[in-house]
Amino acid sequence: MFETPSIRLRGARPRVRDSGSLRPEEGGATPDLGSRLTSKARRMPSASAPSVRLPRPPLLEVTEHGLYCAAGDFHVDPWGPVARAVVTHGHADHARRGSRAYLAAPSGLPVLRLRLGRDARLEALPFGEERRLGDATVSLHPAGHLLGSAQVRIEHRGEVWVVSGDYKTDSDPTCEPFEAVPCDTFVTESTFGLPVFRWPAQATVLAAIDAWWRENAAAGRASVVFAYALGKAQRLLAGVDSSIGPLVVHGAVRACVDAYRAAGRALPAVHAATTLPRERLVRSLVIAPPSAQGSPWMRRFPGASTAFVSGWMHLRALRRQRRVDRGFVLSDHVDWPGLLGAVAATGAARVGVTHGYTGPVVRWLAERSGLDAWALPTRFTGEGGVEEEALEAEAPEEEP
C-alpha cells in the first residue's frame, strides 16, 4: 500500500573492523576511557556473563541517564551528566550539558559547541570511521535530521546495534543524507509513527511558502515564519526562493546559521531585523523560533502575516491551536512510510522504538513485519514537537 521511500543503503560495513587502536581525529590526547568508569557502570552486568553463551545482555540498556552501552562504557544522548556521551545531534533533548566528554560527527560540532558551552570537551568522529570504546566498536552514520546528525552504530562480539537518533529520509540540502545501516537491532525514533503522518512533497510545500511570501511582499507586509531555530530554520533558508525579498532571522536562528557556516555549509545571506529599513522589512521572510510568537520582538513587524512550519501542522487541531495564518507541513523527522522503509532497509530483526508513538509502532512491527519490537522509555515523553519546542526556549533568544 505504501510506497517505500528511496533510501541510500550502505553497501559495505564500516571500513575498519579489527582495530582497537583507532586514533582520535581531532582534539589530540584522548585518555583511556576505560578508566572513566562511573560507579553506575561498575554495576553493569558485562563482566558477569559466564561461559554459557545463551542469554546475552542487551548491548544497550536504559539507565537513569538514558541509553547506556556497558560494553563500551558510554551513553548515547544521555539526559544527565555522564563520563562519555556519544551525541546524535544538537537539539536540546539530545545534547545535554554536563557530561565529561562528547563524541559527535565533525559537521555537528559547531552547533554542539553552541549548545554545550565553551568548556565542553567535544571530539569529532567522521562519518563511517570506526572508534574503539571499551570493548565496543562505534561509528557514526548520517541521519539526515540536520547538519551533522548521526546514527550511532555499535558493534560488540559480532552483534550490531544502530541507534537512529532523530532522522528523516526526505532530501535536505543542508545536511548529509540519511543512510540505512544494516544491523541486528535498530533503535528508531517514532515522533510521527502513525499512518496519518505522510508528508506532502517537499517541493510543493516550499512552493506554497514562496507563494505566500510573494503575496505578502506584494501587499507590503512581512512574512514571519516560526520554525525550530536549529535545523528547520536552515532548511527553510536553503529551500525558499531568496529572490522574493530579504531573509531576516531572529538571534537564536542567527547563532545556528553561523554554526552551519562554521561547519562549511553555504547558506543565503541573512539580516537582523534591526539592520533593515522598513521598506525592505515589509518584503522580507522572517524566521524566528516558536518562542518568539507573541513576544515583544514581534512588534518590529506590525501587520505581518505569520506561519508555523512543522510536521505537526499536518493536523488541523494543531494548526488551529497555533493561531498563525498558515501552517506548513515540513518535518525533519520520518513520516510513517519513511519509518517503515527505514526499518526494513536496516534488515534488523529486533527494533527498539523510542521518542513518540512507541506503542502503535511496536505493535505494527510485531504484527505486520514479524519483528521483535519493544518500546524504550524516553525522558522527553509526550509529543516530540511540544517538548522540543519547550526545550528550544532554553536556547538564546534575544538578538546579540
Partner 1 sequence: MRRFAALHRVLDEPARAGEREASLVAYFREAPAEDAAWALSFLTGGRPPRAVSAAALEQWAAEVADLPLWLVEASRRAVSDRAETVALLVAAVPREEREWPLHRLVVERLLPLAAATAEEKRSLLVATWRELPAAELLTFCQLASGTFKPGVSIGAVSRALAEAMASDAGAIAQRLAEPWTPSAAAFRSLSAGTVEEGAAARSYPFHLAAPLAGEPDELPGGLAAWRAEWHWAGARAQLVRREAGPLLWSRAGELITASYPAVAEAAEALPAGTVLDGQLLRWDDSAPRAEVPESARPSISYLAYDLLELGGVDLRSRPLDERRAALRELVASLREPRLLLSPLLEAASWQELRALLPEARARQAVGLLLKRRDSTYAAGREEGAWRKWSAAPLTVEAVLLYAQRGEGGRGSDYRDYTFAVWHEGELVSVAKASGGLPPREIEELDRWVRRHIVESFGPVRQLVPELVFELAFDAVEPSGRHKAGLVLRNPRVLRWLRDRAPAEAAHLAHLRARIPGAAGSVDGR
Q: Interface residues with partner 1 (CB under 8 A)? A: 1-2, 194-198, 200, 290-291, 293-295, 305-306, 314-325, 327, 337, 357, 359-360, 363-364, 367, 382-383, 389-390
Which residue's CB is nearer to partner 1, number 188 or number 306? 306
Place of cell 552547533: 111
Q: How far is the CB of 198 from partner 1 (least distance, A)?
A: 6
Length, in residues, of the chain? 400
Which residue's CB is nearer to partner 1, number 157 or number 363? 363
Using a 10 angstrom Cβ sphere, with 0-12 exposed, 13-18 middle and 19 or more buried, the burial of residue 266 is exposed
Strands 131-133 and 136-142 turn out to be: antiparallel
Q: How far is the CB of 169 from partner 1 (least distance, A)?
A: 16
Output the CA torsion 44→50→55→57 (10° steps).
20
Q: How far is the CB of 79 from partner 1 (least distance, A)?
A: 15
Q: How far is the CB of 317 from partner 1 (least distance, A)?
A: 3
Which residue's CB is nearer to partner 1, number 139 or number 291? 291
Which residue's CB is nearer to partner 1, number 25 or number 64? 64
Q: How far is the CB of 170 from partner 1 (least distance, A)?
A: 16
CB 307 within 8 A of CB 232: no
Angle subtended at Cα 244 by Cα 239 and Cα 246, rounded to the nearest 5 degrees: 85
Give dist(CA 382, CA 356) in Å, integer: 7
Strands 247-249 and 285-288 turn out to be: parallel
CB 167 within 8 A of CB 145: yes
Q: How far is the CB of 397 from partner 1 (least distance, A)?
A: 11
Tell me how far the alpha carbon of residue 331 is from its chain's centroid.
11
Tell me how far the alpha carbon of residue 45 is from its chain's centroid.
30
Which residue's CB is nearer to partner 1, number 259 or number 361? 361
Which residue's CB is nearer to partner 1, number 1 or number 47? 1
Q: How far is the CB of 315 from partner 1 (least distance, A)?
A: 6
Sheet with 66-69, strands from edge to edge, namely 61-63, 66-69, 74-76, 84-86, 101-104, 122-124
CB 11: neighbour CB atoms within 10 A? 6
